[in-house]
């Protein structure tokens, strides 16, 4: 567990560049076929944002076509915010 901010600042720059790589922002669609990596990518909102953007750009999708990707991103954000608030409250007690 990370106890000090210095430890966080040492780990954070190493892990953050991996998120767009796994989510498919740096690669062509369909490049990642490993089911484990695809599951991990689904945990990040960037993968759903890339799916929505590619649908709009390539297939001229409308809002009704990408609403599930947008709702999934919203749900991930709500869960992450809830976890963050919970962890900060625990830390202050």
Distance CA 20, CA 24 (A): 6
Q: What is the pTM of this model?
A: 0.80
Given this model, what pLDDT does residue 32 score?
85
Least confident of 20-29, 68-77, 80-89: 20-29
Q: Is the pLDDT of residue 91 over 90?
A: no
> Which residue did the predictor score with more confidence, 60 or 6?
60
Given this model, what pLDDT does residue 30 score?
80
Distance CA 9, CA 19 (A): 17
Arithmetic mean of pLDDT, 48-76:
95
Given this model, what pLDDT does residue 1 score?
66
Computed over every residue of the chain, the mean pLDDT equals 89
Distance CA 9, CA 68 (A): 34
């Amino acid at each position: 567990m990370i106890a000090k901010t210095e430890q966080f600042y040492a780990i954070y720059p190493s892990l953050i560049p991996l998120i767009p790589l796994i989510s498919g922002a740096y690669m062509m669609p369909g490049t990642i076929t490993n089911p484990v990596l695809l599951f991990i990518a689904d945990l990040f909102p960037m993968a759903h944002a890339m799916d929505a953007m590619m649908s709009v750009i390539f297939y001229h999708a409308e809002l009704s076509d990408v609403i599930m990707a947008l709702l999934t991103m919203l749900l991930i954000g709500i869960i992450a915010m809830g976890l963050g608030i919970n962890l900060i409250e625990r830390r202050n007690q």
